[in-house]
Structure formats: C-alpha cells, structure tokens
Structure 1
Amino acid sequence: MTAPAEAALRRRFTLANLSLTALLAIVSVITVTPFVLMFVVALTPEGAPTLPAALPDRLTFDNIERVFSAAGFTRWTINSLVYSVVSVVLILLTASMAGYAFAKKRFPGRDTLMWSFLATLMVPFQAMLIPYFVLVSEMDGIDTFWGMIVPTLANSQAVFLMRQFIRDLPAELFDAAKVDGASEWRIYWRIVLPLTRPILATLGVFVFLWHWNDFLWPLVVAQSDDMRTLTVGLATLRTETVPLAQIMASAAISVLPCLVVFGVLQRYLVNSIATTGLRG
C-alpha cells in the first residue's frame, strides 16, 4: 500500500472514530439529562422557581430530609430491600443448582425439561398474574414477604444463563473431584460457585434491578401500607398533595441503591460480557 493511500485510510478511520465518539456522547447526554434534572428538582428549595421555568439559585437537602421523615417512606425502602436482596440470594442459589444439574448431569428427559422450562419465557407475567394471586391467596400469602418472593424464584432466564456458563467448564475438574471422593454438595460449593462468580454477579445485578423496580406483583400482593414496596409507595404519592420536589427527591433516593449495586459489581458485569464471546 502506498503512503498516500495509507494516510487516506488512517484519516478515514480517525473520522469514523470521531463520529462514533460524538454519537455516543450525544446519546449519553440525552440519557443522563433526565436523571440530572430529577436531582436538580429534588434539591430545589420549597417555593423557589424550578424547572422548566428557571434553574434554582441554590440547592438544599430539605426535601430529602422531609422524605425520610415522612410516614411510610423508610418502611417502603426496607420492604424493597428485603424483597430485592432475598430474591437475589434465593434466585442465584436455585438457578446455579439447576444450571449445574442441567449442564453436567445426565437424567431422563433432561433436555425436554430444560426447553419446556425455557418456553415459559414466552408467557407474559400478566397472563400468570391471576393464577399466582389465587394460589398465594389460598396459602395465606397476601401481605407477606414470602408471598411476594416465592412466585418470582422460578427464573428460567437465570437457569438458562447458568446452564450455558457451567456447560463450558472443563469436565476434568468434576471428574477429578469425584475421583477424590468429593460429594455433589462439595463439588457445587467448592467448584461450581467459585468458577461462576462473573455470571452470578451479572445475574445479581439484573435480578436486583428487576425486583427493585418491580411494580405490578407487589401492587397486587402488598395490599397494606406497611407492606408496600418503594415503587408502589411512590405511585401513591401522585394521588396525594405532595410537592413535586419531594416526589423527585423520593425518586432520586430510589435510584441510589441501583447505582450502588451496579458500581460495586460492574467489574464482574463487564468481564462476563467480554468473555461471553470467547466461549466456544
């Protein structure tokens, strides 16, 4: 390749990279702007002009203090944490066990059972809402944590992802463990769980976000004010005479746990996505 042609190719690549960078910057600004405006409105003093009329001349944490002192908000936050954290732990535990069984164990009907279980992804949750509610109601699970958590544990997507990840683990590790006399529980605890930390962290982020932002199922099951989750509780504020700044403050507070979870586990999330394409 001649020098002028090589220089032209470099300029073309440089222009393409700059264009892609500019496009990503524009998309990032559009994505982040609503969150920035939400925090600005949340920190606007009471009675001061706010968006879109004007930017506040000063910011204050008074609205956040009022939100925490309001009756019910702290309880809603605790309920959401219990609902999300317990669901993450149980789903990761059951999905990893099922994924290990479907990936490394041989039993009659294994593939049929797996694909039948996976077919439930095509059934929308709204179609199963009434049967779930009737079943939980018959078992006295209305207005209880277990009534909210248990019906969400059969996560076929999590089981499928765990199966795909565990299936690529070297079979020699499991054969060597069996030769050494390790039990199935010991193999699962000492081999499967440590080697699947990247996918467990990735699923943990997704499952936490799904449950933290879940609205429909907690709305149906948690019928008393003491059992409401944060999403349901914030929705009730729209029917009351609550200032917009306090509603935005409540929404801003509800976003923070998601940012913390993603910030803590983003290294595993990125590594899992990056290595997915390397698995044959």
Structure 2
Amino acid sequence: MATTTRRPPAARAGRRLGGAARLTTPALLALTAIVTIAPFAAMVFIAFAPASGQTFPDAFIPTHVTLENFRNVLSNSDITRWTINSLIYSLASVLLILLFASMAGYAFAKKRFPGREVMFWSFLATLMVPFQATLIPTYILVSKLGWVDGYWGLIVPTLANSQAVFLMRQFIAQLPDELFEAAEIDGASEWRMYTTIVLPLVRPALATLGVFVFLWHWNDFLWPLVIGQSGEMQTLTVGLATLQSENVPVNQVMAGAAITVLPSLLVFGLLQRYLTDSIAATGIKG
C-alpha cells in the first residue's frame, strides 16, 4: 500500500516565505529603480518643456517639446567655460590620482620598508576626518602658495586620496609575488616592474577607480566654490548654482543640469567593460 508523506508545517511555512521573498525582491528593486530614476526623468522633461511647463508635475505632460531652453542656457551663460574648467579639473585629477595611488599601492602592497604599516594605517585614518574640518587650513596653505583662483589650487589639494590608495593596495596585494621575484632575478628595475607588471594587471581596477574619481570631481561643489573666486574659474556645479541665484528660469537650469550629466554617462559607457571585469575578478578571487 502506497503511503504519502506529509511535509511538516514548518517546512510548508518556509516554502511560502521563500516564495514571498522571491516575489518581494524584484518588486523592491523595481521600486528603488523608479525612485532613483524619477528625479533624473523630471530634470529631462523640464529641460525639454516650454516655459509653461516649469512646475511639477506639469513638466511630465508638456504641450510640445522644445530645444529653446538649451539654446538659451548655452548663449546666455558661461557654460562652455564652466565645462572646460570641470573637464580640466576632473581629467587632470583622474590621471594624477591614478598614477600616485597605483604607485603608493604598489609600494604598500609589495615592498618591505620600516614603518610601512604605521604609515599606511595613519594615511588611511584620514578617511575619518571630514573635509570640512580641513577646509580652512587647506585654503590658507593654498593661499600662501598663491594658487587661489587657479587650476593648481583646484587640483593639487585633492590628489592625496587615501581611499584610492587603499583600493589599489588591496588589488595589487592579490598579484602573485612570483611575478615580481622573477622580474628581480631578470634584473628589472622598480620602474620597469611597475610599468610592465603592475599597470597591465591592474587595468580593470584603474578603470573602476577612474570612473569613481571622475564622478567625485565632476560633481564636486564645495572646494571649487571656495577656490574659484572669479567667473572664469567656476566649474559647472558652481555655475549652475549661480544661475539659480540669478533667477534664471527653471527650464534653463534643468537644461544646464542635463548637459552636465552627459560626460558622466559617456565615461561610464566607455569604461563599463572594465567595470564588469573588475567586479568579476574580485568576485572570483574573493
């Protein structure tokens, strides 16, 4: 005689909870995506809306689409100059921070010297110091050097990036020591090992860090506001704030904001493959 086995109540309850979790997770992710995209969508709709569609939610149902806001903001403001300043600030910072962070990460990960651990953790401890606490001393130092309202004062104080050094050190530490030992046996110099071994192998990490550094500097507001005291040295973030203070229509401000998003999307699109490779490599090794 065949007998049927009955699942205990706890097992049935567990299956129901598991099914509910599988249904709830996509719903929560979709809700999070909607909440995240909504401000961006509102910005784009308002930027293309006519003057009558300045308010929310009227901008989501515009009577027609127009490019007049973009033409006005490009012709009536210094947005071209602001864009050049932001590009110089962001790209120069990316190149220099990647160079210094990868060199420091290589030294902290693979080299042995007195005080290495103390130096590294002391440098890393600066992450706990808020930028606002060092703003005034940094400004005084930059002012003494005569770098106020210039690119040197804008870029140099941001190059000592402890987070970037930490990320590069952790990634380089995973590289096999045998590669460097073989290079030393072959008589390779430190610079050659850095350029021929470290840089090619950490390319995904450099691309990932480069995206983050670019976004940090492209969206930076406080330091460019303090250093760029003239209109010619303002970045896009500071320039858009001045548009709001000048009672420029909201449509034009949103058009300027939409323009500022394009370089970020371009950088992410170009380096997306390296981002994926970096995440995959970290997951495999972890």
- Shorter-chain TM-score: what band? over 0.9
- Greater shift after overlay, 122-131 or 66-75? 66-75
For 2:162, the equivalent position in structure 1 comes to 156
For 1:40, the equivalent position in structure 2 comes to 45
Q: Which has the larger radius of gyration?
A: 2
**Letter of the aligned partner of 1:63 in structure 2?**
N
- The yes-or-no answer on 1:112 pairing with 2:121 is no
1:4: how far off?
Answer: 8.4
Q: CA RMSD in A?
A: 2.0
For 1:51, the equivalent position in structure 2 comes to 56
Q: Which runs of 5 or more residues in structure 1 are unaligned?
A: none
Distance 1:134 1:198 in 2: 37
- The yes-or-no answer on 1:81 pairing with 2:87 is yes
User: What are the Cα deviations for residues 111-161 of structure 1, in whole angstroms up to 9, with x where unaligned?
Assistant: 110011111111111111111111111111011111110000000110011
Aligned residues of 1:44 and 1:50 also touching (Cα < 8 A): no
- 1:5-20 to structure 2, matched below 5 A, reads 13=18, 15-20=20-25
**Letter of the aligned partner of 1:245 in structure 2?**
N
User: What are the Cα deviations for residues 197-236 of structure 1, in whole angstroms up to 9, with x where unaligned?
Assistant: 1111111111111101111111111100000000111111
Change (3 A) 1:49 1:197: closer
Aligned residue among 128, 136, 147 for 2:142: 136
For 1:240, the equivalent position in structure 2 comes to 246
Aligned residues of 2:153 and 2:227 also touching (Cα < 8 A): yes
- The yes-or-no answer on 1:275 pairing with 2:274 is no
**Letter of the aligned partner of 1:224 in structure 2?**
S
Q: TM-score, normalization: structure 1?
A: 0.93
Aligned residues of 2:54 and 2:251 also touching (Cα < 8 A): no
**Letter of the aligned partner of 1:117 in structure 2?**
F
**Letter of the aligned partner of 1:254 in structure 2?**
T
Aligned residue among 210, 225, 232 for 1:226: 232
Change (3 A) 1:226 1:256: same
Distance 1:49 1:200 in 2: 41
User: What are the Cα deviations for residues 240-261 of structure 1, in whole angstroms up to 9, with x where unaligned?
Assistant: 1211100111111111211221
**Letter of the aligned partner of 2:21 in structure 1?**
A
User: What are the Cα deviations for residues 20-77 of structure 1, in whole angstroms up to 9, with x where unaligned?
Assistant: 1111111111110111011000001234565324621211111112212223111001
Count of aligned residue pairs for this structure pair: 278
Change (3 A) 1:107 1:61: same
For 1:182, the equivalent position in structure 2 comes to 188
Aligned residue among 7, 25, 33 for 1:28: 33
**Letter of the aligned partner of 2:272 in structure 1?**
Q
Q: Which runs of 5 or more residues in structure 2 are unaligned?
A: none
Distance 2:280 2:22 in 1: 21
Change (3 A) 1:115 1:46: same
Q: Please give the secondary structure, in 2, of the residue aligned with 1:238.
A: helix
Aligned residues of 2:46 and 2:53 also touching (Cα < 8 A): no
Change (3 A) 1:257 1:212: same
